[in-house]
Amino acid sequence: MYKKLEIKNLTISSNDSILVKDINLSVEQGVPLVLLGESGSGKSLIIDSIMGSLSPNLKVEGEIFLDKKDLLKLTYKDKRKMWGKDISLLPQEPWRALDPTMRIVEQVKEVHEYIHNDKKNARKKALKDLDDVVLKEFSNSYPFEISGGMCQRTTIAITHAFNSQLLLADEPTKGLDKELCINVANRLNKELEQNRLLFVITHDLDIAKNIKGNLGVIVDGKLIEYGKTEELFSNPKHQYTKRLFKSQSSLWDIEKSNNISDEVIKIKNLSKQYSDNKLFEDLNFTLKKGEITSIVGKSGSGKSTLGDIILGLKNPTAGEIIKSKGLNNLKFQKIYQQPPSAFLPNQILKEGFEDLVKLHNLSMKKVYELFEKVNLEKELLYRKPDEVSGGQLQRMAIVKVLLLKPAFIFADEATSRLDSISQQEVIYLLVNIVKEENLSLLLVTHDLEMAQKVSNQIIYLK
């Protein structure tokens, strides 16, 4: 049983810049570590350096000891032998991590079959793992048949099944409602009771509070604060940390859109059902210009499905959607819950934006202006989608939609991958866009407090 993970003077650099500089952290039995930071701050790079899955184009210096074993000196083959048995990773993007061709129970079952060599009881144990994250009744579903939050819970079930001695959790509560976030925090705390080492990276202040141990705050690859969780929350020293703690949605001061005008979409008696699973029925509401409407509900309640039906991407079981005349399909846009789905995986991001600009007779100047508005550096355009953080990619997805000057935007958990400061900035941006462009915004969120702050109307799905 490993007793300590120790990171010493870790520096990660590319050809032209230092991404992570002189990081010193430790994780001990019974003392978990949470690393809190915004999207693109370098959190995931630290996790990747522990796993041995960093891009070969990056240079790594320093030491990472798992007890007396320096992980940075191991060969790639030796590192892979440790995956699952010694070290397991709860990934940041479940949409990428899950196999779309396999039912979720089979993906959990594989762990028991091939890691623990227990083929006899593998399915029974897999169902128990899924039941623990409230997914047993969806065990025969494929990843594309369930919500983003349910995919996240599936990866949690898989990671728990590994039963490894060091658990690395990369944004474990992304896309989950608050109740499930608390459940995840409680589950991670239970891992400590089995003497496992736990290292969590997150931008979620709630999970950072609920995992009692040490807390670090990272900005631009530098560790700016480090200490006991309770002490740091009660007495932050750095200005960034103080700003971060004050950026929770419950503390926002934002003026709602009030110039509501013409009807864009009318929903009449809308219902959706999959086999025996009834998501919603007899919904009636209108969406107007200058108006923000939020859909609030637990993971799997049908929020994303409702938005997709309104856009015409899915068919309702019953009901009618009446769209304003004179608006073509381009005027109805979606900001996806899973940002990788909005980009070609092997294409440089700049090329994708140039294709969009050329197709619609736009200007790259407008792209750069919007990048600045959502706090993105233009240099990121020269990378591929998997070479930027999830939060950065989400902001790029927002830019793509805004370029087309839509009349209606369906924002499906558009800020779930952002830290609270960036989330506040993006929501404020969307609110201002609604006012300036006089468009209609349908916002899916798990955050009721945020919905109450910005919305003109809220639809609750049970």
pLDDT tens per residue across span 52-82:
989 888 999 999 999 989 999 999 899 989 9
Q: Which residues contact 135 (CB under 8 A, 6 or more apart)?
A: 104, 146, 150, 153, 154, 157
Residue-level pLDDT at 251: 83
Residue-level pLDDT at 40: 76
What is the pLDDT averaged over residues 9-37?
93
DSSP per position, 264-311: EEEEEEEEEEETTEEEEEEEEEEEETT-EEEEE--TTSSHHHHHHHHH
Rounded CA separation 397/335 (Å): 6
Produce one character per residue of 329-352: b if its CB has 16 or more CB atoms within 10 Å, e if not: eebbbbbbbbbbebbeeeeebbeb
Tally of residues, the chain: 462
Measured CA to CA in angstroms, residue 356 lies from 16, 341, 353, 389, 434 at distances of: 29, 16, 5, 22, 22
Residue-level pLDDT at 123: 96
Q: pLDDT tens digits, residue range 104-130?
A: 999 999 999 999 999 999 999 999 999
Q: What is the DSSP letter of 56?
A: T
Average pLDDT score, the chain = 90
- 92 phi and psi, to 5 degrees? -75, -35
Q: Is 76 helix (H, G, I), strand (E, B) or coil?
A: helix
Q: pLDDT tens digits, residue range 391-416?
A: 788 889 989 999 999 999 999 888 87
Pairing of strands 4-13, 59-66: antiparallel
pTM of the model: 0.75
Q: pLDDT tens digits, residue range 371-383?
A: 988 889 999 999 9
With cut-offs at 50, 70 and 90, classify the pLDDT of residue 175.
Answer: low
- Does the structure show a pLDDT above 90 at 363? yes
- Bridge partners, 23 (sequence order): 10
Rounded CA separation 380/97 (Å): 23
Residue-level pLDDT at 268: 96
CB atoms within 10 A of CB 453: 19
CA-wise closest residue to 133 among 114, 113, 116, 149: 149
- Does the structure show a pLDDT above 90 at 298? no
Which tokens in the block code for residue 107? Answer: 């993906």
Share in percent of the chain as helix, strand, coil (round to 5): 40, 25, 35
Q: What is the DSSP letter of 91?
A: -
Q: pLDDT tens digits, residue range 184-196?
A: 888 788 888 888 8
- Bridge partners, 442 (sequence order): 293, 410
Pairing of strands 87-90, 166-170: parallel
Residue-level pLDDT at 410: 95
